[in-house]
């Protein structure tokens, strides 16, 4: 639940979502996704799971909302679907946005509008349907990606 924090070596992560009870029950299974803020090697990663706009907006309003700005890497919510809260994308302001989605998926993910919003905010966008499996590493201001 939100607020849980763990550390192992240089890796530190904090659960941002879902909120502890008696918070309102998420509207569906996607809004019950675990969302993590991860710090390692001087990098900050925001992993949004499948959160949809109602939970994204609640996350922005939560006590941890102030910690969401200026992340290095964003794992884009819900496979980059069009169903995103634009304020969360703006607040996160990622340098690198990763979209996990299958090639030729029947949903048309990722949505062109989501990719455009990420790029408009200055993010480099990588997609598993085009770029394959990848690993991200970095230190300070430097990011690099290794792929298949």
Strands (E), the chain: 5-8, 11-17, 35-40, 43-47, 73-75, 96-99, 124-127, 134-139, 142-147
CB of 48 within 8 A of CB of 76? yes
Q: Who has greater pLDDT, 50 or 28?
A: 50
Q: How confident is the model at residue 64 (pLDDT cuts 50, 70, 90)?
A: confident
Q: How confident is the model at residue 28 (pLDDT cuts 50, 70, 90)?
A: confident
Closest by Cα among 70, 64, 63, 57 to 36: 64
Judge whether residue 69 has pLDDT over 60.
Answer: yes
Structure tokens at 26: 């998420």
* pLDDT at residue number 120: 97
Judge whether residue 22 has pLDDT over 60.
Answer: no
Closest by Cα among 48, 41, 54, 92 to 70: 92
Residue whose entry in the numeric block shows the structure tokens 């499948």? 50
CB of 108 within 8 A of CB of 127? no
| Longest CA pairwise span in the chain (Å) | 44
Q: How confident is the model at residue 35 (pLDDT cuts 50, 70, 90)?
A: very high
Judge whether residue 71 has pLDDT over 80.
Answer: yes
Q: What is the mean pLDDT of residues 108-125?
A: 95
Q: Burial letters for 96-127: b for 16+ Cβ neighbours within 10 Å, e otherwise?
A: bbbbbbeeeeeeebbbeebbebbeebebebbb
* pLDDT at residue number 47: 97
Q: What is the mean pLDDT of residues 42-57?
A: 93
* pLDDT at residue number 141: 82
* pLDDT at residue number 26: 58
Q: How confident is the model at residue 24 (pLDDT cuts 50, 70, 90)?
A: low
Q: Who has greater pLDDT, 32 or 68?
A: 68
Domains along the chain with CATH numbers: 5-147 (3.60.15.10)
Closest by Cα among 49, 46, 35 to 70: 46
């Amino acid at each position: 639940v939100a607020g849980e924090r763990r550390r192992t070596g240089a890796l530190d992560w904090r659960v941002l979502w879902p909120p502890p009870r008696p918070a309102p029950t998420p509207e569906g299974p996607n809004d019950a996704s675990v969302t993590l803020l991860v710090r390692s090697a001087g990098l900050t990663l925001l992993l949004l799971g499948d959160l949809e706009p109602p939970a994204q907006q609640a996350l922005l309003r939560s006590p941890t909302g102030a910690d969401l700005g200026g992340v290095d890497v964003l794992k884009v919510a819900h496979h980059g679907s069009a169903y995103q809260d634009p304020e969360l994308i703006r607040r996160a302001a990622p340098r690198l946005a990763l979209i996990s989605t299958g090639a030729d998926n029947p949903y048309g993910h990722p949505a062109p509008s989501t990719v455009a919003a990420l790029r408009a905010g200055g993010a480099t966008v990588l997609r598993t349907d085009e770029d394959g499996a990848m690993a991200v590493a970095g230190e300070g201001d430097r990011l690099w990606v290794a792929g298949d």
